[in-house]
Structure 1
Amino acid sequence: MAHDHMIEMLDLDAEVLHDYHRELTQWVGREAGDHPRVVDLGAGSGTGSLALARDLPGSTVTAVDVSPDMLAHLRARADAAGLGDRIRTVEADLDQPWPDLGPTDVIWAASSMHHMADPARALTSAFGTLRPGGLLVIAELDSFPLFLAGTPDEDLERRGHAEMARRRDEAGLHMHENWPTRINTAGFGAVNERRFDIDLRPPLPPATARYAEVSLLRMRDALEGRLATADLAALEKAATGTATRTDLSVRTTRTVWLARR
């Protein structure tokens, strides 16, 4: 069930933050050239793969993920969107030696590099996979979405985020990497950096309430035993009440780095 909620949350992120995702893929499309062969690292539920296939005419996408459930969901979405013939899936653990992914013009890593056990090794593998002149795209979250800013529950949500950040640090996730330095060290050229400050206020996309509910419930479940019982109960109440709230917003920051081999 937790895995199903992760898939749903990723799909909702794509729906609610549609403008950000569209702007990003269009930017990449302008840099990628014609008919690019794209590899999507840690493709998850398929947000990036589908957007790239849709927004980059003539592109083909290889979606790589360790989870067969994620890849099955991605394939179903691609078929439903009429993109199944341009997206193939590869099940692989990217912390192990990479499979042969074929000639590659663009490597796309959206919210996946921080999961790598050894980001330096992953970037070296990316460099080796790309053709000369090929494009590396890394998109990472500076902050996870806040839904309750400016409401009586804002402090509660921020405490939850602070504890989640500590939990990720303890798990060894690479949330605070100096990606430009990492990218240059792997052999890539100049890094083009762009920051997206997302601040959505009412009226919000219809899926926002469910996006907030799933996100807050995942936070509540992840922090069992790490937050006070009263805070856990309050988080659950805030999550299950999103459908009737009129004070939701969506605030998050994402940074994207582009570099060429």
Structure 2
Amino acid sequence: MTTQHSPEHGHHHHGGNHGNHHDHQHSNEQGMAEMLDLDAQLIKDHLQEIFAWTAGHQPGPSTILDLGAGTGTGTLGLARTFPEAGVVALDQSEFMLGRLAGKVKSLGLEERVSTLQVDLDAAWPELTDIDLVWAASSMHHMSEPASVYDRIAGTLSADGLLVVVEMDAFPRYLPRDLGFGTPGLEERCHAAAGSAKWNAHPDWAGPIREAGMEVVDQRTFGYAIEEDQKLVARAAHRWLSRMRDSLKDDLATAYLHALEVLLDDRDPRSVLARTDLSMRGSRTVWAARIAR
């Protein structure tokens, strides 16, 4: 399993290397799914702003395709935003789609929401005339984004809209000075993750245009969430453990030690005991149509 998951959502779409152990993959996907669902709870209002912005550009789509749906945060948000629309949730992971299908059933949305398992690096679904294609934190996982954009252009209806969402940077949770250790732990971790080639946060305007579409709007939506400290602490704990596991060879001992303190539930300095956390970040969103 590669470590190039998006820290928040979307699921990776690399072909190939899926580990020999199904169990390893399953527990990895389960951890990922839990992180996606926790984040979805936290950033509800932030995502709601992006759905509303999308509806401003495309008020009444009847068909929607969610590319790289993960556990369905986007799928369900779109189904709520557009109560008349049919939504197809596409992902390469059977596990994620199973989880999504469970939510769809419990919400009574089976008539409107369907799932489709496809690895977009290997194949493309037989879908055309789609009014809204939504790709949130999924395009940077494609091995050949340019050809995916070409396919999207062929899948959109004449007045269809493509909305691409990417995180601008890793989310931040910690104050700069933790009260112990060297200040700036989080910046240091982000720098190490960046040089370890974790997710790039690409500017998609160029590739969208090259596929014969025009960007009709682009906006960055920021958020800072501190209300629910317990939930923020759980998200921070999960994220920092991924940092620790993935970066243990790239961080100086002092920084690793500080991470251990933050992740040790028995330590009063642990992230779960703090009340000065806030989850901060931003997403950039592109809206595009087929160029006339």
Q: Is residue 187 of structure 1 aligned with residue 187 of structure 2?
A: no
Aligned match of 2:233: 209
Structure 1: gaps of 5 or more residues: none
User: When the two structures are aligned, how many residues end up with a matched partner?
Assistant: 256
1-structure distance, mates of 2:58, 2:163: 10
Residues 222-241 of structure 1 correspond to what in structure 2 (within 5 A)?
222-239=246-263, 240=265, 241=270
**Equivalent position amino acid for 1:221 in 2:** D
SS in 2 for 1:84: coil
1-structure distance, mates of 2:168, 2:201: 8
8 Å CA contact retained: 2:176, 2:186: no
Q: Is residue 50 of structure 1 aligned with residue 76 of structure 2?
A: yes
> How big is the shift at 1:225?
2.2
Structure 2: gaps of 5 or more residues: 1-26
**Equivalent position amino acid for 2:28 in 1:** A
Q: Label 1:134 to 1:15 Cα distance change in 2 as closer, same or farther (>3 A).
A: same
SS in 2 for 1:117: coil
8 Å CA contact retained: 1:157, 1:235: no
Aligned match of 2:16: none
2-structure distance, mates of 1:21, 1:53: 13
Q: 2:137 aligns with which of 111, 127, 130?
A: 111
Q: Label 1:210 to 1:244 Cα distance change in 2 as closer, same or farther (>3 A).
A: same
* More helix as a share of residues: 1
SS in 1 for 2:220: strand
Amino-acid identity (%): 42
Aligned match of 2:185: 156
2-structure distance, mates of 1:91, 1:129: 17
2-structure distance, mates of 1:4, 1:92: 19
Q: TM-score, normalised by structure 1?
A: 0.91
1-structure distance, mates of 2:188, 2:222: 21
**Equivalent position amino acid for 1:223 in 2:** L
Q: Which moved more, 1:245-254 or 1:219-228?
A: 219-228
1-structure distance, mates of 2:190, 2:73: 24
Q: Label 1:206 to 1:54 Cα distance change in 2 as closer, same or farther (>3 A).
A: farther
Q: Label 1:23 to 1:233 Cα distance change in 2 as closer, same or farther (>3 A).
A: same
> How big is the shift at 1:178?
3.0
Q: 2:65 aligns with which of 27, 39, 43?
A: 39
8 Å CA contact retained: 2:229, 2:275: no
8 Å CA contact retained: 2:42, 2:225: no
Q: 1:10 aligns with which of 28, 32, 36?
A: 36
> How big is the shift at 1:133?
1.3
Q: Which moved more, 1:8-17 or 1:226-235?
A: 226-235
Deviation string, structure 1 residues 184-220 (Cα, Å, up to 9, x no partner): 111112331000121223x336421211111111111
8 Å CA contact retained: 2:133, 2:152: yes
Q: 1:95 aligns with which of 121, 130, 145?
A: 121
Aligned match of 2:276: 247
8 Å CA contact retained: 1:35, 1:57: no
RMSD between aligned residues: 1.8
8 Å CA contact retained: 2:129, 2:158: no
8 Å CA contact retained: 2:176, 2:184: no
Aligned match of 2:167: 141
